[in-house]
Amino acid sequence: MKDFIDDELIEQLLEATRRPTAARVREVIGKARELKGLSPQETAILLQAEDRDLVSEILQAAREIKRMIYGNRLVLFAPLYIANYCANNCLYCGFRRGNKELNRVALTMGQIRGEVEVLAREGHKRLLMLCGEHPDRSGLDYFLEAIETAYGVKTEKGGEIRRINVEIAPQEVEGYRRLKKAGIGTYVLFQETYHHETYRKMHRDGPKADYLWRLTAMHRAQEGGINDVGIGALFGLYDYKFEVLGLLMHARQLERDCGVGPHTISIPRLEPALNAPAAMTPPCPVSDEDFQQLVAVIRLAVPYTGMILSTRETPAMRREIFDHGVSQISAGSRTNPGGYREGTSDGFRAAQFNLGDTRTLDEVIHDISTHGHIPSFCTACYRLGRTGQDFMDLAKPGLIQRFCRSNAIFTFMEYLEDYAAEETKTAGKKLIARLVAETDPAGVRETLTGRLARIEHGERDLYI
């Protein structure tokens, strides 16, 4: 496949849209409100807006679009790091081969079971499983066995993992076929930086040095039958405006070639990591204000693509950004393999990077639900086969909002019944009562009330 990221074109777009007029910015915001997405040029105009009032208008439009398409749900997941051996030497990552001080681990299947039990007992239903790239220590066979092991865990009160998304190095099409067969949800992979020269500097050797092999991974994943793919850029390596346009071009290429764009876009920002020079001094740090703007611009540019925010960000920053378009968040995370069972987040000596938000899942749930968000553990679309184009067909007319809102409330109620601390349970039930009262039409309200009563009486895993 040909390289479809044209650095020069992106730089030209950014140059040509410098200091846009207020009228032009407002015109683009108006177009974004039609929910049809934006062209790279329109997106560049919003990225180049600097006037504070105009930026506020962009944030406001992102809030409206987020509410319209996703409502106030936030889907929760936990990352599960199973191994930290790595053949690569990415300058920003604590797992890099050159980090001689890292405690290297590849969890055994028994240890993986132990990690998943901890997560299931906290109430998690969705995992993102990941590891370093190491053909001998954590190759595809090992990874597939880990998926099977994790899906096999059952704890008391019906605790189980219902969806495993995965983030591993680029594979051949056959590898993706095997991952699909193992029942994965989304295949996630970040390009890190779309800027070729920066990519070269950050990945001088090892398998990851091949930009094009990584760029085309999502195309191979689609060919291998994985409908839901998630792209991302690691913000802080190069100009964030360039990266947003790179993400958009990647999304459009997938739509063109595979008939469906990415299911999610991740927006990690660089965090400090042990012996990782580019993480300790990011080449192009992104300020909090710029980060908010870029999240909002992505929301406007690709309104139907989910956006994932991790615990790299602090609680305060997460609270700010949720409203601007984020639809999925991690919570209670550890980035050191074995960290859940050990109960350590210190793990700097085994971790990939430092965390900005170290609260437990229950603390995060209490926080977001008292701010009016509905925590969701829903996995219905994936289990009913509503993925890829089928998902988009439902999402676009707004039907997803109806399904998802009810399913979010059901899974939230399950969480409150089985895992929540008393204070979270009281706050959560108050929120659910309000959500039920606000539900229209009456038919949907009745279905909701009926099923919530069934959950309170012990039934589990209800979804529509």
Give the integer Cα–Cα distance in Å for 320 and 303. Answer: 19
Assess contact for 336 and 351: CB atoms under 8 A.
yes
User: Residues, the chain, total?
Assistant: 464
Per CB under 6 A, residues contacting ligand SF4 are 86, 88, 90, 93, 95-96, 132-133, 208
Cα-based distances in Å from 453 to 157, 158, 199: 17, 18, 53
Q: Which of 171, 352, 411, 424 binds ligand SAM (CB under 6 A)?
A: 352
Tokens (6 digits) for 106: 């590849």
Binding site partner of 429, from ligand SF4, ligand SAM, none, Cβ cut-off 5-8 A by kind: none
Tokens (6 digits) for 216: 């085309």
Any idea of the CA torsion for 75, 80, 84, 87, to the nearest 10 degrees?
Answer: -60
Helix (H, G, I), strand (E, B) or coil at 205: coil
Nearest distance from C-beta of residue 259 to ligand SF4, angstroms: 29
Q: H or E element: which one contains 159?
A: strand 159-160
**Neighbour tally for 51: CB within 10 Å:** 12
Nearest distance from C-beta of residue 193 to ligand SF4, angstroms: 12
Instruction: Restricting to residues 97-136, name those near ligand SAM by CB under 6 A.
Output: 130, 132-133
Only one of the segments 107-115, 264-272, 436-444, 446-454 lies at the binding site for ligand SAM (rule: CB under 6 A); that segment is 264-272
Binding letters toward ligand SAM, positions 147-186, x by CB under 6 A: --------------------xxx-----------------
Tokens (6 digits) for 157: 């009160």
Binding site partner of 189, from ligand SF4, ligand SAM, none, Cβ cut-off 5-8 A by kind: ligand SAM
Nearest distance from C-beta of residue 278 to ligand SAM, angstroms: 8
Nearest distance from C-beta of residue 220 to ligand SAM, angstroms: 14
Give the integer Cα–Cα distance in Å for 41 and 34. Answer: 17
Nearer to ligand SF4, 206 or 315 (CB): 206
Nearest distance from C-beta of residue 335 to ligand SAM, angstroms: 8
Q: What is the DSSP letter of 350?
A: T
Give the integer Cα–Cα distance in Å for 144 and 148. Answer: 6
Tokens (6 digits) for 413: 């109620």
Q: Which of 93, 215, 248, 395 binds ligand SAM (CB under 6 A)?
A: 93
270 touches ligand SAM (CB under 6 A) = yes
Binding site partner of 279, from ligand SF4, ligand SAM, none, Cβ cut-off 5-8 A by kind: ligand SAM
Give the integer Cα–Cα distance in Å for 213 and 203. Answer: 13
Nearest distance from C-beta of residue 391 to ligand SF4, angstroms: 28
271 touches ligand SAM (CB under 6 A) = yes
Nearest distance from C-beta of residue 164 to ligand SAM, angstroms: 14
Q: H or E element: which one contains 311?
A: none
Binding site partner of 96, from ligand SF4, ligand SAM, none, Cβ cut-off 5-8 A by kind: ligand SF4
Nearest distance from C-beta of residue 436 to ligand SAM, angstroms: 39
Tokens (6 digits) for 354: 């430092």
Give the integer Cα–Cα distance in Å for 32 and 46. Answer: 10
List interacting residues with ligand SAM (CB under 6 A). 92-93, 130, 132-133, 167-169, 189-190, 192, 234, 268, 270-271, 273, 276, 279, 312, 352-353
